[in-house]
Structure 1
Amino acid sequence: MSTTTKTALITGGSRGLGKNMAIAIAKKGINVVITYNSNKEAADAVVAEIISLGQKAVAFQLDTSNTSLFDNFIKEATAYLQTETGSNHFDFLINNAGTALYSPVTDITEEQMDAIYNIHYKGVFFLTQKALPFINDGGGIINISSGLTRLTYPGSSVYASMKTAVESLTRYFAKELGTRKIRVNVIAPGAIETDFGGGRTRDNKDINAHIAGITSLGRVGLPDDIGGVVAFLCTDDAYWINGQRIEVSGGQGI
């Protein structure tokens, strides 16, 4: 294992799965940069927890659906890294930020589709593109998909389609970045108890019970079920995993 402290950049790291990923990664001895959309207080709390673990951490505000913000964000983040670590490069990019959309195909508007496209596909593509010059060779990129690319539930057509696109994109990134030894994988969580989508999986007892009933391990997922897998992919032990879709769902719907 390298003795040089590495750095991970996680979008949407102030709450839910992103928060759990950030803390789990910090526990691996990796410094963390997170982004948040609007809740600075929550982001600062995550930063404080990571610092208490002995790692460097910082939070930047970023709307990952707005590509016009990316150049300035990269400048800010790399300037911070140069000052704090002596290098403007980092090692891992985790494209986690996202929003939910539950709507039947008969009701979806162009505005809704554009919003989901911008945050779940276009934003992922171009933030990765902008970050690539600053990702160290031998580093890694982890995209976040969903179990809904395998399981089909009414109301998730647009969201699941964008996540399917990200899964395909992941393989292409892995192929094209292989010469730099940058590995690229996609994590597909099953249903998780967070505030995502208004907390419906967590708070709706009928939905929660249904998912638990079709999951082999007998319960709905928790954030702790996901963060450790993402953190593992940021270690040398996971170096030979590349171009893979890894579903982390407890055996939901198998």
Structure 2
Amino acid sequence: MRPLSGQDRPAALEVCRRDPVASVLAAVQVERLGEVEIPGAELLGVWDRGRLAALCWAGANLVPVGVGPDELDDLAHYVRSRGRRCSSIVGPADAVLGLWDRLAGAWTRPRDVRADQPSMAIAADPAVAPDPRVRLSRVDELDLVVPACVAMFTEEVGYSPLSSGGAYESRVRELVVGGRSYVRIDEGPEGPQVVFKAEVGALALGVAQVQGVWVHPERRGEGIAAAGMAAVVADARARLAPTVSLYVNSYNAAALAAYRRTGFTQVGTYATVLF
């Protein structure tokens, strides 16, 4: 095992192409390998007889790709020796849970282990009519978009992302500027209000992974999510990538139902270990 460099990029891309939907989170970093360096992060490669067998992005998140039983011991040994630097382990469930089994005795107790997160994808027109009120966010709307993003994150993860500084707001702005942030803004009793939002948080190898889907608590149960996601799918497939994916907690029955109405089907299972 060793960190990968720019010369390893073709081999790393080949590993990711085995399952582009499952590997999209790491593939974002693979596509930039040798061009962009992130301090404190590295792309790890597991080699077998001169062939790149698997890889793992080790940055703010630990993201294994193509890691099977034969590679888990080597990867866990390497990562354990560095100490925990990530805020989560996320990716295909078998690899994430197998890696966590090997790290649990050496790392701090996680806040949550989400072992069953259906990975869903759509590569066709949405099955329901897109909501025409869902559109790309604008920079001049950040004062509305950022609070909605913070509310979503806090509800999902359990703490405010603003507690760690300004990186989260910068990320929201980056997605807005990049044409990867969607909103529906309705007029409320106290002025404009975000009632639906979502972002394409990862984009690589022809896959646009949607993250941060959120409907305002006061507007849930109105069918906003399915039509909103249909609008996201239609635009993302037209502008960004032919396949749109996401992953969702198995216990979130309402979200699963909305995604299925939109036309998403399950293609795998993710897991997340949150610290």
Tell me whether the two structures share a fold, i.e. TM-score over 0.5.
Answer: no
Larger Rg: 2
Q: Which has the higher contact order (CA 8 A, sep 6+)?
A: 2
- Kindly indicate which of the two structures has a greater share of residues assigned to strand: 2
TM-score w.r.t. length of structure 1: 0.27
